[in-house]
Amino acid sequence: MTEKEDKMNVEKAILDAATEEFLSKGFSGARTVAIAEKAGVTHAMLHYYFRTKEKLFECIIDTVIKELIDSVTEAYKRQDASLSFEDRVVAVMNAHLDFIIAKPQLPSFLFMEIFPSTENFKLIKEKASSALGSLNTQLKEALESANNNEEIDNISLPMLISDVVTLNAATAISSQLATKLLNITKEEYVAMRKQENEILIRKRLKK
Amino acid sequence: MTEKEDKMNVEKAILDAATEEFLSKGFSGARTVAIAEKAGVTHAMLHYYFRTKEKLFECIIDTVIKELIDSVTEAYKRQDASLSFEDRVVAVMNAHLDFIIAKPQLPSFLFMEIFPSTENFKLIKEKASSALGSLNTQLKEALESANNNEEIDNISLPMLISDVVTLNAATAISSQLATKLLNITKEEYVAMRKQENEILIRKRLKK
DNA sequence: AATTTGTTTAACAATCCTGTTAATGACAGA
DNA sequence: TCTGTCATTAACAGGATTGTTAAACAAATT
């Protein structure tokens, strides 16, 4: 079945190239000819497989969103139930950061391209709702029971999530500036921020 | 001098329209005809005054950057010297947030359009270096003397600045999601985040 | 009034970019 | 081997978008 493999290879090559192009340049900045070139196919092939630029874009958002959601839910599932609430939050936060760092353009792409568009946002909300819904209730329970057992400072769940997402997203985005602004490598900067984010969250949760 | 006023009006109208268009859609998403229309002039006028889309873009980055830098330095200058280090940091942070919130697309625009481009980044670094340099030394002195008088937890200056910028930028960006995700207004969300950011920073600075 | 200077308009040119199509090739099943 | 289907290519069509130009116009200067 070399034909089917070939077909998958072509499709995958286009998808990979498209992901890179869309994430780095945004929808309007991306060029379909550039994607085709990067994928090593004629640009007619791109239209043959995905019809339009919009459809191709939708395909890559779908997978990107799926990967993002999975990374968080997986990280939470893997948690040791015996850990304290504080330790669990930190562990999920770090797993989330590791995923984001692998695709550092993702946060600004989401903010620029996906969130402002009501339609795309609907899509992401649908995909995320079930996963985030259960994560939410789990966290809620953990926070409530933690308040009984541990000494947790008063904090609302939305603000806690906002803190984590905020710190991680900004870490990923600003990591691209690290080498340009400070005289350190991206990896050094990320390591510093990881430590700093952990300090911030731990201090925040302590009474 | 109605002619010069008129000229200024046309120029300003184009610049204002361009700022809105570029900030919300990015360079490649922006359309010069849309800018001209918004400004109420023919699109030939746009080229007459600014020659090219690129040149117009450079003009608006210049002013945007200048306003951003000024907002921070002004906020720092206005500070009461009798305040504690912690209070001063919080005051500057809040002033910074107020400015950003007025142009909520600014952070994602900077991250998407300016920072990735080495050339544009050079520009912003030049413009910011003198202002940020003096701010930096002022903060450094304040931090050192604070460590003698007050009880400040160990933190490096880059990380402190990174914390503040990070939290504020993310607040502005995510505020656009507030109404879509949580059932609250943007203003309510910003107020909540402002409070939360202040708690985070104060706790971070305390030993 | 004539000239000059700078502003504005409308039409047009040129290019870039997306998407199509018709022709060709490859290959599986009848 | 013939036929039909799918993959691929090259060339092109259409439209959007940026940028130019020539002519009209307004205002100031001589």
- Number of A to B CB contacts under 8 A, please give it: 104
A87-122 confidence digits (pLDDT tens): 989 999 998 899 999 988 898 898 888 888 888 888
Q: Any chain B CB within 8 A of the CB of A162?
A: yes
Helices (H), chain B: 2-29, 32-39, 43-50, 53-77, 85-102, 106-109, 118-149, 157-181, 186-205
Q: For residue B5, what pLDDT is reported?
A: 55
**Rounded distance between C-alpha atoms, residue A101 and residue A190, angstroms:** 8
**Rounded distance between C-alpha atoms, residue A18 and residue B80, angstroms:** 52
In whole angstroms, D1 C1' to A154 CA is: 82
Q: For residue A6, what pLDDT is reported?
A: 62
Residue B121: name the closest of A108, A188, A176 by CA: A176
> Tokens representing A187?
């990896």
Chain A residues in contact with B206 (beta carbon < 8 A): 203
What average pLDDT does this structure show over A160-166?
92
**Rounded distance between C-alpha atoms, residue B73 and residue B78, angstroms:** 9
Q: Which of B108, B177, B192 sits opposite A108 (nearest CB)?
A: B108
The string of DSSP codes covering chain A is: -HHHHHHHHHHHHHHHHHHHHHHHHHHHH--HHHHHHHHTS-HHHHHHHHSSHHHHHHHHHHHHHHHHHHHHHHHHHT--TTS-HHHHHHHHHHHHHHHHHHSTTHHHHIIIIITTSHHHHHHHHHHHHHHHHHHHHHHHHHHHHHHHHS-B----HHHHHHHHHHHHHHHHHHHHHHHHHSSS-HHHHHHHHHHHHHHHHHHHHB-
User: Does the pLDDT at position A73 exceed 90?
Assistant: no
Q: Which of A53, A119, A173 to mutate to test the interface with B (most CBs of B within 10 A)?
A: A173
Most confident of A192-201, B1-10, B86-95, B129-138: A192-201
Note whether A172 and A101 are within 8 A (CB).
yes
What average pLDDT does this structure show over B152-180?
89
Note whether B113 and A173 are within 8 A (CB).
no
The distance of A48 to chain B (nearest Cα, Å) reads 25
Among chain B residues 44-73, those with CB within 7 Å of any atom of strand D: 44, 47-48, 51-54
Note whether A201 and A89 are within 8 A (CB).
yes
A116/B24 touch (CB, cutoff 8 Å), yes or no: yes
Using the Cα atoms of residue A56, residue A59, residue A64 and residue A65 in order, give the sign of their dihedral: positive
What average pLDDT does this structure show over A147-167?
88
State in Å, rounded, how far the first CA of chain B is from the last one: 62
Note whether B84 and B147 are within 8 A (CB).
no
CATH number of A58-205: 1.10.357
Which range, of A153-157, A176-180, A190-194, averages the lowest pLDDT?
A: A176-180
**Rounded distance between C-alpha atoms, residue B22 and residue B118, angstroms:** 19
Q: Where do the structural domains in chain A lie, given as residue ranges? A: 1-51, 58-205
Considering only the top CATH level, what class is B59-205?
mainly alpha
CATH architecture of the region A1-51: Orthogonal Bundle (1.10)
Q: For residue B6, what pLDDT is reported?
A: 62
Please name the nucleotide lying closest to A45, CA to C1'.
Answer: D8
> Tokens representing A58?
């939708």
B106-119 confidence digits (pLDDT tens): 988 988 888 888 88
The distance of A127 to chain B (nearest Cα, Å) reads 13
What average pLDDT does this structure show over B59-63?
91
pLDDT band at B2 (very low <50, low <70, confident <90, very high): very low
Chain B residues in contact with A192 (beta carbon < 8 A): 158-159
A200/B196 touch (CB, cutoff 8 Å), yes or no: no
Please name the nucleotide lying closest to A40, CA to C1'.
Answer: D8
HSE-up (13 A, CA, CB side) for residue B151: 3
Owner of token pair 């950061």: A97
What average pLDDT does this structure show over B119-148?
81
Q: For residue B177, what pLDDT is reported?
A: 83
User: Does the pLDDT at position B129 exceed 90?
Assistant: no
What average pLDDT does this structure show over A5-19?
87
